[in-house]
Structure 1
Amino acid sequence: MRLQGKRAVITQVSAFMGPDLLTTFRREGAEVIADDRDLIAPGAAEALIAEAGHVDILVANLAAIRPDRSVLETDDATFRAMYEAMVFPLHRLVRAVLPQMIERRHGKIVVIGSASALRGMPNYTAYGSARGAQLAYVQDVGVEVAPHNVQVNAIAQTHVNNPTYFPESFQATETFKERMRATPIGRLAHGWESAALALFLAGGESDFFVGQVFPFSGGWVMR
């Protein structure tokens, strides 16, 4: 019960890491506001935080389907869509929740990001750069609010079993098998393994981590 008495907001709870985060955080005693609204719309992120009230932990679980396009095929609309789905909502959520955390001098923000921002890949221009913006944002905000005893950190993950990026249909393809051969650990992580790291970053044992990005990729980032 490591989160007993804490109130946590988890976004896009039906997608990406949402289901595993929800199960893990509730098991550990948190009162979870499990939200599934579209956060792209202006005002949606701010409304979520206002409705939630007291928030000890924000888990920004933001996903978007990656466009498989070369840089020359990536038009402005495609590029912008990735930022509207994953970067602007992050800033709006953080901007909305920080005042109460700063006032209480306590709070945790965990961003579920992607390791695609840590290693160059072809046809990832729009998606990878938006994920990279998330990680840079975490580093900057993390050091800014650290003096207020608010910790902001991110998990940069890939090859983690989840319904958005690694559905069973994709796992049956040769493309997936090639990716596993390129991953030192040779398997997908279980969703609960990533959720366990998020739990650590949301709890009291991680107070000394500030603006950090934790690769979670089974060795893929290191190759």
Structure 2
Amino acid sequence: MVSLEYVSKTYRLPKGQLEAVRDVTLHIPKGTIHGIIGASGAGKSTLLRMVNLLERPDRGKVFVGEQELTALSARQLREARRSIGMIFQQYNLVLNRTVSRNISMAMELAGVPKRERLARIEECLKFVGLEDKAEQYPSRLSGGQKQRVAIARALANGPKVLLCDEPTSALDPQTTADILEVLRHVNQTYGVTILIVTHDMNVVKKICRRVTIMEQGQIVRTVAADELEGMGDA
């Protein structure tokens, strides 16, 4: 479903260059939940952001399904990104928009008719258990509720792939468990392929089928999640 083939990314900094990702090849099967773990600076978030080309690789190819994203025009890439949702550590909600209007944003950009948008907002809010928060503003929500809104927003366009960049690192253990259960439900209900970046080994043990371990911009190994027993945080 998701394939990265020999991708690399180098940042040019005032004091030189930083090779964040180096010649990485990774294949994620359709319908799975796959973790990417590693210490800060290992390159895991850069790798994740290359899946939807928020970070364009300097070399290598990115495929989602049968489509090579790295070969698309800007217009074609905008279309392709509608099938790829993303959830961030800090939620990235628009503070002056209500919950329902936050969820509506991607559909508005896609030109979805208003009646269809309203029905989809209701469906997504019900899915994440926030039907009563539609007209609230993000400032009135807890961290866990904000992340549920972010998940609902990511689901609005019916994505095939969901990218999660440290989605639970700002949350307490119980709220983390709740969010992971929502993500598991997304996977089981809609068959969405989920990639989740985290530094927390316990997160991938709870939700992931397979896990890729990164160090210094490269993959050290990819293993089944149950092979991580006995290991601590990355």
Shared fold (TM-score, shorter chain, > 0.5): no
> Normalized per residue, which structure has more strand?
2
> Larger radius of gyration, structure 1 or 2?
2
Instruction: Give the TM-score of the pair, scaled to structure 2.
Output: 0.29
Instruction: Give the TM-score of the pair, scaled to structure 1.
Output: 0.29
* Greater relative CO, 1 or 2 (CA 8 Å, sep 6+): 2
